[in-house]
Structure 1
Amino acid sequence: MPQPRIVFAGTPDFAATCFQHLLDAGYNIVATYTQPDRPAGRGKKLQPSPVKKLAQTHGISVEQPLNFKNPQDIQRLNDYQPDLMIVVAYGLLLPQAVLDIPKLGCINIHASLLPKWRGAAPIQRAIEAGDSETGVGIMQMEAGLDTGPLWAEARCEITENETGSSLHDKLATLGGKTLIQTLPTILSEKGEPTPQSDGAIYAHKLNKSEALLDWSQSAKNLERKVRAFNSWPVAFFKIDNQPYRVWEACSSEALTNEKPGTILSADKNGITIACGEGCLTVKSVQPPGKRAMSAADLLNSRASLFEVSSIIGE
């Protein structure tokens, strides 16, 4: 019996990790779809996606349509005669014409416990909201955004020190493992996915402007934002209109009557700042044009910017 013909569609590292699990399991990947090469780095040279690099290493055909509005792109996918299309962080909304091509449709690995955190940034939004648990779901795709029924899900704890980066890596591995466990059921055509429950919450796309720390918020909220936005877009505050990126911080419920943004202390233990509720101690900072460093190292060269009782942003 011939092996099922699988098309894999994905772009970033998260997708590449899941793709690697498929390759390791020996599945027949007849083609990969990924976003067009993008300029990156100081030279702004075109760079292939992690999925494209992995596909080329294994001699697998790579397709990079801008979208699927061109009938030739639809026909190209149809020519591969896929039994199943696996979509992971591809970066394109697939029209119904694409979803209808594979014999078994298209499935998606989504990094949340659906229907919570549908959308573009489920990993970061879960940390930012203070969730204690998240996971991955293997979903049969529909035309709606992350609305399809679920074949399987696997759960994952969000630890107190979890960052967007660390949770990304955990969920990518969990997603790959769960996919391999679930594929035999899907390919055998013996099971049925389960419809999602009510109560969808959307994980809106991240943008750099929301990474600016608002000292009127509670210290606990700001600490979660710092962890959620590590490693992108990275939380920051401004001094003299210059961004200082915050890579690590911890919160305290200590009471203070000082105005939010006031520096309460600045020493080898960190830079402690009054918030709307409690205090935030910044541990690792990246000054403009420099590498990330400890607060102690920052104070060795820029102590005058962090004098006690001064207010950040004024």
Structure 2
Amino acid sequence: MKIAFAGTPEFAATALKSILEAGFQVPLVLTQPDRPAGRGMQLQPSPVKQLALQHGIAVDQPERLRTPEQQAALADCRPDVLVVAAYGLLLPQAVLDLPRLGCLNIHGSLLPRWRGAAPIHRAIEAGDAETGITIMQMEAGLDTGPMLLKEALPILATDTTASLHDRLAELGGRMIVQALRLLEKGGLSATVQPEDGVCYAHKIEKSEAALDFRSSAAVLARKLRAFNPFPGGAASINGQTIKLWAGEALVATGEAGLVLQADAQGVVVACGEGALRLTQLQKPGGKRLAAADFLRGFPIEVGQKFDLPE
């Protein structure tokens, strides 16, 4: 089979690497245009583009795929199948119809739960016990297509979005190779997604970083895990906003936002229910630090209070 691939971040690069290592022919890769990144804001190629160039694969980077001109490289390639993973562009029906065997998507959840842009973050934030990978046949709707393969993965109590992302990426790479081999043999069957259990993983916004200590400590601890590495948590004290990267829920009582403890073990803040021990923090312009190191450069004392959002 001749396979075209569309993807952009590391999650997609892991899948492309698996496809190439399995020996499939990939004549064309679609990926997002180079974006400014780093301190110098220099244009940076996506992880998928970097991998494609290492393997001598042609790369196309259209801003959109709406016009025949934007679709030309894919049409000229005449792929049997298009594999899509975290590409970042919606595919119009004309593109979905181009490959002879359709378009397969690697989605980081157990569909129909967590359709949409941020399934890994939202699964952790919601306290789900498991997530997984669904290989689906793409159609015009947002992650609504029939399911081809599905495999669950437990969400560990210590998982952040970063760690769960890496495990799901490896699983997705293995499963897409399995799906392509079955498709090649004509042995891939589709199952329509059930209507029960549909929910949407909306894109993560920077504004969500602010922690409201009137929430329960368990909810806030999950939020910190879900928002690591982006956008992290944030809270203000002493007139300064600090970043919060890790914490654990404790059994304790106190006025929401009140500092109950501040030592090498962490900064314990009373919440609407329980208390949150913050163990990794970052002052403005600084680095992420363990609580003991952070407190040496940014003193916080028992009895002080974090601001509560209005």
TM-score normalised according to structure 1 size: 0.96
Q: Report what 2:260 is aligned to.
A: 264
Q: Report what 1:224 is aligned to.
A: 222
Q: Report what 2:244 is aligned to.
A: 246
In the TM superposition, what whole-angstrom CA distance separates every residue of 1:216-268 from its partner, at most 9, and x where no partner exists? 100000000000111111112123553311121111132x1x32100001011
The answer to whether the aligner puts 1:288 opposite 2:272 as a matched pair is no
Q: Report what 1:143 is aligned to.
A: 140
The answer to whether the aligner puts 1:93 opposite 2:87 as a matched pair is no
Q: Which amino acid aligns with 1:144?
A: G
In the TM superposition, what whole-angstrom CA distance separates every residue of 1:176-215 from its partner, at most 9, and x where no partner exists? 0111112122223343211111121100000111111110
1:139-218 pair list within 5 angstroms? 139-198=136-195, 199-218=197-216
In the TM superposition, what whole-angstrom CA distance separates every residue of 1:100-129 from its partner, at most 9, and x where no partner exists? 000001000000000000000000100000
CA distance in 2 between counterparts of 1:90 and 1:26 reads: 22
Q: Relative to 1, partners in 2 of residues 1:241 and 1:98: Cα closer, same or farther, differing over 3 Å? A: farther
Identity of aligned residues (%): 51
CA distance in 2 between counterparts of 1:130 and 1:190 reads: 36
Q: Report what 1:19 is aligned to.
A: 16
Query: Where does structure 2 lack aligned partners over 5 or more consecutive residues?
Result: none
CA distance in 2 between counterparts of 1:95 and 1:265 reads: 55
Shift of 1:77: 1.2
The answer to whether the aligner puts 1:277 opposite 2:273 as a matched pair is yes
CA distance in 1 between counterparts of 2:187 and 2:165 reads: 32
Q: Which amino acid aligns with 2:189?
A: E
TM-score normalised according to structure 2 size: 0.97
Q: Which amino acid aligns with 2:301?
A: E
Q: Report what 1:72 is aligned to.
A: 69
CA distance in 2 between counterparts of 1:110 and 1:34 reads: 17
**Could you tell me whether the CA contact under 8 Å between 2:106 and 2:133 is conserved in 1?**
yes
Instruction: Write out the 4+ residue segments of structure 1 that deviate beyond 6 Å after TM superposition.
Output: none
Q: Which amino acid aligns with 1:245?
A: K
CA RMSD of aligned residues (A): 1.1
Q: Report what 2:302 is aligned to.
A: 308
Q: Report what 1:110 is aligned to.
A: 107
Among 284, 294, 299, the alignment partner of 2:295 is: 299
**Could you tell me whether the CA contact under 8 Å between 2:237 and 2:305 is conserved in 1?**
no
1:6-45 pair list within 5 angstroms? 6-45=3-42
The answer to whether the aligner puts 1:129 opposite 2:126 as a matched pair is yes
The answer to whether the aligner puts 1:51 opposite 2:48 as a matched pair is yes
Q: Secondary structure at the match of 1:116?
A: coil
Q: Secondary structure at the match of 2:298?
A: helix
Q: Which amino acid aligns with 1:235?
A: G
CA distance in 2 between counterparts of 1:213 and 1:244 reads: 11
Q: Which amino acid aligns with 2:304?
A: S
In the TM superposition, what whole-angstrom CA distance separates every residue of 1:2-38 from its partner, at most 9, and x where no partner exists? xx11000000000001111011111000100000000
CA distance in 1 between counterparts of 2:34 and 2:74 reads: 19
CA distance in 2 between counterparts of 1:299 and 1:68 reads: 50
Query: Where does structure 1 lack aligned partners over 5 or more consecutive residues?
Result: none
